Chains A and B, each alone.
Chain A
Amino acid sequence: MNSSVLFHPGEWLYLDWVLLVASAWLSIGLIGVFALRRLALVAKVLFPAGGVFGVVLLGIALIATQAAPETAVLPIGLPQLPFHFRLDSLSAFFLMVIGGVAAGVSAFAAGYFRKGEGTPPGLLCLEYHVFLAAMTLVVLADDAYAFMVMWETMALASFLLVTTNHRIPEIRNAGFLYLLIAHIGAIGILLCFGVLQANTGDYSFENMRAQQLSPFWASIAFLLALCGFGAKAGLLPLHVWLPEAHPAAPSPVSALLSGVMLKTAIYGILRVCFDLLDLRLWWWGVLLIAVGVVTALFGVIFAAAQVDMKRLLAYSSIENIGILFTAIGLAVLFSSYGMLPMAALALTAALYHTAGHALFKSLLFLGTGAVLHATSERSLGKLGGLMRYMPWVAWVCLVGVIASAGLPPLSGFVSEWLLLQGFLFATGLPSYFLNMLIPVVAALVALVAALAGYTMVKFFGIIFLGRPREERLALAHDAGAWERIGMAWLVTGSLALGLLPIQFIQVIDPVTQYLTGAGLGATVADHGWLLVPVALDRSSYGPAIFLLGIAICCALVFIIVRGIYHGRVRRSAPWDCGFPWQTARMQDTAEGFGQPIRQIFEPFFDLDRQLPSPFDSEPVYRVQVGDYFWRWLYLPAAAGVERLARLLGHLQQGRITVYLLYSFLTLIAVLLLVRR
């Protein structure tokens, strides 16, 4: 293991470069403070510069995944308590995700932020870059202290970013809800580290790795980590902040939240389960799979019923997080039984999906940002037909939609394919119960994937296809140059991940080697352009050949049809079974498109329907889809807290004599307790 202390003479390690990128981001943020209201400088210089550092981070991390772990001690913070940092392949992988997505989002942000949107641009620039730097350092942290400081910085910076338009009360509420749940999570993580250090008083990760906890305490630590990181990731039932915070935030921020910040929680759970804990129990895997698959199903069903485009994407993120946790659960299950190659397969699926989701979800959020700017409309029911007015954004979003629907030949399919392979060959498990569980979960994963396709058709079809549902949509303009650069970067990434799985699995290989001691790299490298995770006669997939096959078919058919017959086209009014009076209002609304889902999965929804009677002169039809977790969990909890607060309020008498009495009683109590 290489170690270094920054600013000492000698060789520069990758870790030093990464820390340099983080400090560069911090300095860009600081410059922003001095250019508080100079939008041109902030947007056209600072944000692109931040994006360039994102690319740099991507490059360094790409090399560092293959390198040996490096550590550094930074004498910042409290005396005798320096920050420990460590760069190993796991953190390098997540740095890649952060750098890659940040580059695209920063370029988009350069064209996105305008005057008069709440927080002044300079301050926004500070929050944004502190957020990026904090995420980078969370992934690098090698002791609980540094981790928690960075984790909280990340939460605070993102809270401030979410509440950019803080003059709107809903946005403030969304921000507070997010902050609350982030802190419930932080408590869980803090307690988890407390268990992991096993009474040694040494909170460095190195010490935690060396500890051998009993299964009981290890399980406690695991449950606390699941709770803590699950809150950040949006696992059921702590998911409620996601659909509130994502629509509230400006689109580039939603892209970062969904694409990158949720992934830090994935990083955390992987770090704790596979690195800091030295044992894994089978029921942890089952718990992770169960929570994951329920979250995924819940997320996708709610996504299909949404009528706000950013809420729809937020629920879709919940679904993807569910799939990620399912994959991690499968890896834990396999590794608890010592089936290391299978654990590596499941883990590869999880990491692949992490990167894939980071790219396509941030791409789609940026797409909604472009739509929002062009139309100032977020509700699906008032959009439509935008493909004609903003073709660039539409085609780019189509790529994101195909990836998100988990269809070949793009990135979403590769990870789903690997995950299903993991489930399919999971038959060697030494327990009847597990062997029965696995097919059911595989079936649910397949259902979730198919429903994701439904959701994405709704998302794309209602926004971009059909006829504009409002007249002013005809004035919508396509995205600007900076926005295009940012989206093009993410599209390229999505395509590359979809078409080059062999190369990307080579990048993931050291990570799975480090976490489970096995990897797919060697198997995968032997078969040229075919992705072969286990053996050639078992399963194989070649996305490039796949795409080429379809493209050649299309081209040949096109040429032959034109050659033998003709290419004549006549334009006329749409036919629609000969019905002449068509208006844009006759298309499906977002509610209408989600109706089959509401009907089939009715028990999941807290529906509030208002149907007109036949005698209404002005009939109103309204349907609102609510979340039972609000009604049965959060609102009662909030009411309970309020009642408790009112009870405690009786202590507050406003008279000095009463308060003196309190002090006196406290003193007596302390004296009684502290007996020598």
Chain B
Amino acid sequence: MSAASLSAQFLDIVIALLLAPLLTGWVNQWRARLQNRSAPSLLQPYRLLHKLFHKESVLAEHASPLFRGAPYILLGCMTLACAIVPTLSTDLPLAPAADAIALVGLFALGRLFISLAAMDIGTAFGTLGARREMLVGFLAEPALLMVLFSVSQIAGSTSLTTIVERLADQGPAIYTSVMFAGVAFTLVALAENARIPVDNPATHLELTMIHEALILEYSGRHLALIEWAASLKLFAYSGIGLALFFPWGVSEGQSPFAVLYALPVLILKLAIGGFLLAVLETISAKLRIFRVPEFLATAFLLAVIGMLVNNLQGH
């Protein structure tokens, strides 16, 4: 473990923590523009976090320690996820601690804690949110796993850093299975990040909300942590998408400065990805909650087909 790899790891985490709210702000801004609204500033998410951190936290009288601890655990999970996903460099000392399967487990762990916390207060919305979140989760999780498997089989590894290295080395190539996996991944990423058409991050309409219902009882710094974690999750998912489908331009630990070259490439890729997400959200309509299983089942099916194609082609 060299100083270069340690600094790359450190940079990876810090960049994720700092850039994640910016990505959220970027998506929000584009969404507003595409919908002919006047757009908020790019820095709006940072202002929101700052405001929330300043406010006192209002807890329900009977909230248990689990309720207070869950935001920290969620943020911890998402930070670790960002630390594992190779966004800038593939020379990450923490990456061997968790491969792609463990990464899915990490997201699931965060989801478990936040759902339990939502049930802790015992309000109607809290349990409703928890139930829906787990519903989305149990459908999206296997689909994500299958997507990762399809790509893992091509790269011969489940370690994300190795996947990026091997895919980047062999240059642009078109695999049928990866195309299936890409579509499935997009669907899963929309669902997991509480985006339209599965959920609407900007609504508090009781019949439709999922993620907002979960965190309804949170306020002050706890809410700030959750919002930050949600940004990090979007960042991590974007990072996974880029790693699996556009792995070029990531430093492979040749020189300490390669990381600095990788940063503008990353920002460019995220900017394009964020714009496309805003377009997707603008042109699609919110699904009824009963249609969500069909939406995610499609993702699951596509991912499984991707893996089948892979196996048929003899990888």
Contact = CB atoms under 8 A, between A and B. Distances in A.
Given A447-B142, A549-B83, A575 B127 contact: no
B262 interface: no
Q: Binding site of B, secondary structure by majority: helix, strand, loop or mixed?
A: helix
B5 interface: no
Interface in A405-443: 405-408, 413, 417, 420-421, 424, 427, 432, 435-436, 438-440, 442-443
A572 B61 contact: yes
Interface string A525-560: 000001000001111111001100111011001100
A573 B61 contact: yes
Contacts of B217: 574-576
Contact of B131 (A384, A586, A592): A592
B98 interface: yes
Nearest to B310: A439
Contacts of A2: none
A408 B153 CA distance: 23
Contacts of B271: none
Contact of A576 (B54, B102, B123, B300): B123
Interface stretch (B27-35, B107-115, B278-286): B107-115
Interface residues of B, number: 86
B60 A573 contact: yes
B83 to A, nearest CB: 7
B304 A440 contact: yes
B157 A569 contact: no
B225 A557 contact: yes
B84 to A, nearest CB: 9
* Interface core residue of A424, A465, A542 (most chain B CB under 10 Å): A465
A562 to B, nearest CB: 9
A467 B121 CA distance: 7
A435 B206 CA distance: 46
Nearest to A570: B58
Contact of A540 (B131, B139, B159): B159
Contacts of A456: 112
B22 interface: no
A495 B202 CA distance: 40
> In the complex, which range does the number of interface residues on chain A fall in?
35 or more
Contact of A467 (B54, B62, B99): B62
Contacts of A439: 146, 149, 304, 307-308, 310-311
Interface stretch (B70-78, B189-197, B241-249): B70-78
Contacts of B310: 439
A545 B98 CA distance: 9
Contacts of A436: 308, 311-312
Contact of A443 (B59, B83, B99, B142): B142
A450 B104 CA distance: 10
Nearest to B315: A427
Interface string A392-409: 000000100010011110
B85 to A, nearest CB: 13
A596 interface: yes
Contacts of A438: 311
Nearest to A420: B101
Interface in B40-77: 53-54, 56-64, 66, 69, 72-73, 75-77
A391 B66 CA distance: 11
Contact of A600 (B73, B119, B293): B293
B119 A569 contact: no
B312 A466 contact: no
B238 interface: no
Contacts of B225: 557, 561
30 contacts: A406-B105, A417-B102, A424-B153, A440-B304, A442-B307, A443-B304, A450-B137, A450-B138, A453-B137, A457-B115, A461-B130, A466-B120, A537-B157, A538-B162, A539-B99, A539-B157, A540-B159, A545-B94, A553-B79, A564-B53, A568-B56, A569-B58, A570-B56, A574-B61, A574-B121, A575-B123, A582-B124, A587-B123, A588-B119, A593-B127
Task: Give me the 8 closest cross-chain CB pairs, A-B, nearest first.
Answer: A466-B122, A467-B122, A553-B76, A446-B142, A588-B127, A461-B119, A542-B97, A545-B97
